[in-house]
Amino acid sequence: MALPFTKPTVEIAPKRLRVLFGGKYIVDTRRPRLIWEKPYYPTYFVENPVISKEYLKPSEGTAEEQDASNGTVFDVVVGDKVAKSAAVQYGNDAGHLSGLTKLTFGAMDAWFEEDEQIFVHPKDPYKRVDVLQSSRHVRVAVDGIELANTRKPVLLFETGLPVRTYIPKTDCRMDLLVPSELTTECPYKGVASYYSVNMPESSRLIENIVWWYRSPLPECGGIKGFVAFYDEKVDFWIDDQKQARPQTHWS
């Protein structure tokens, strides 16, 4: 499957962007840049003057942090609150990054597009996520033990990624699923919780191969309470045809 972008791509985003840190909006701009440094999702950059110099202090980070592809690394400081090595500022000789600053997304307190808070990373304007009810016959097994069997799956189609199949818990061997402490976040779906599988004969625990969303974001509300298995780690049949295991581990 072709990826959306195979080299850095830069666009001026049409959304107002604000970044909250230490009780202050250190970014407030109507001309943020979306840059696809990686093919799967973009990163926000802002023009250098957008962030006041009073919030940027020279970093004493590691050599690896200081490398930053010819950019200058700064700590972000507001009052007593410090995010170490959380900003990289580029001069006028950095190609498509010239005159821009990048903030580490997770180091900031909150990011807002217009008045809506966003999580994990910016959503890709070229990506769709569709959730569709299906009547396909789906079976899931590990080492010959059937874990799920349903004719009521919900299919999630996400641009550039494998189709994910969500199954009602009532059609799963919930007696074999053990709640895990792991959680992950997705900007499209929300916060996922995980199950491990306790194999009945060997008592072998296969960790974190099942996930589900208690309260998914509105655009993916159709997967609420359903579980998905990592196709990469289980045997999977659709309409009695065994499926090849995908190579990617994206959820």
- Rounded average pLDDT over 44-52: 97
Interatomic CA distance for residues 190 and 17, integer angstroms: 20
Same domain, 187 and 218: yes
Q: Is the pLDDT of residue 67 over 70?
A: no
| C-alpha span between 123 and 230 (Å, rounded) | 23
Q: How far apart are the first and last CA of the chain?
A: 16
Which domain does 39 fall in, by range? 10-118
Domain shared by 214 and 177, yes or no: yes
Q: Same domain, yes or no, for 176 and 94?
A: no
pLDDT the model gives residue 1: 36
In 22-176, DSSP assigns E strands to 24-29, 33-35, 43-47, 56-58, 72-78, 81-89, 100-103, 110-113, 116-118, 129-133, 138-142, 145-150, 154-158, 164-167
pLDDT band at 39 (very low <50, low <70, confident <90, very high): confident
Write out the two tokens for 82. 């410090």
160-207 pLDDT, tens digit each: 888 999 999 999 999 999 999 999 999 999 999 999 999 988 889 999
Same domain, 141 and 71: no
pLDDT of residue 62: 53
Is 248 contained in some domain?
no
Same-domain status, 109 and 207: no
Q: What is the pLDDT of residues 100-120, one digit of tens each?
A: 999 999 999 999 999 999 999
Is the distance from CB of 159 to CB of 143 less than 8 angstroms?
A: no
Specify the pLDDT at position 225.
97
Kindly give, in sequence order, each residue whose CB lies less than 8 Å from that of residue 183, ignoring residues fewer than 6 positions away: 191, 192, 193, 194
- Residue 66 sits in a domain whose CATH number is 2.170.150.40
Same structural domain, 179 and 226 = yes
| pLDDT tens per residue, range 76-87 | 999 999 999 999
Share of the chain above pLDDT 90, in %: 80
In a shared domain, residues 187 and 230: yes
Are 135 and 114 contained in the same domain?
Answer: no
Q: Which two tokens stand for residue 94?
A: 């950095």
Domain's final residue, options 67, 83, 118: 118
Same domain, 50 and 21: yes
Number of domains the chain is built from: 2
Distance CA 81, CA 75 (A): 10
What tens digit of pLDDT does each residue of 116-168 get? 999 999 999 999 999 999 999 999 999 999 999 999 999 999 998 889 999 99
* 96 and 22 fall within a common domain: yes
DSSP state of 168: -
Residue 207 confidence (pLDDT) = 96
Neighbours of 105 (CB within 10 A): 16
The answer to whether position 24 is within a domain reads: yes
**The pLDDT of residue 38:** 78
